[in-house]
Amino acid sequence: MNRVEHLTEELLERLLESSDISDYLDSQAVVERELPDYLFALMKAHNLKRADVVRGSGVNATVVYDIFAGKSKPGRDHAIMIAFGLECDLRETQRLLRLAGVAELWCKQRRDAIIIWCINKAFDRLATDNELCRMGERPLLQTN
């Protein structure tokens, strides 16, 4: 992630202050970013390999490789698990979820609040699943 990413709030302010929509759109603030591009950028930024992401996420290797290749999009829990595998912070996780086309984590929802807390405490996926179970919530990795 070599270029500076502006906060959504900053971009919204620029958009609302623009006298012409073309000026805003031409300012390179709007980027068409695809999920695989973001996943590879995160992997590089965190100095990880896909095998590390597979191990850290708990998601089947074939599923992870298909998502990285753009062949499929993850469901919400798989996207969260991949975020753990990529060692994402909360901002990176929310962006990953948006690009995956699923709902972001919401602090007003009990299970999401636990996951947010775990991400903020730098828990890994396994520790997060343990915390979810301890709090009576469904873990990310289903072991049926």
Question: How confident is the model over 94-112, as a mean pLDDT?
Answer: 96
Q: How far apart are CA 142 and CA 53, in angstroms?
A: 18
The two structure tokens encoding residue 49: 């390999």
Rounded to two decimals, the pTM is 0.83
Residue whose entry in the numeric block shows the structure tokens 């919401």? 106
Residue scoring higher pLDDT (45 or 142):
45
pLDDT in tens, 28-38: 666 667 999 99
What per-residue confidence (pLDDT) applies to 6? Answer: 57
Q: How far apart are CA 142 and CA 59, in angstroms?
A: 10
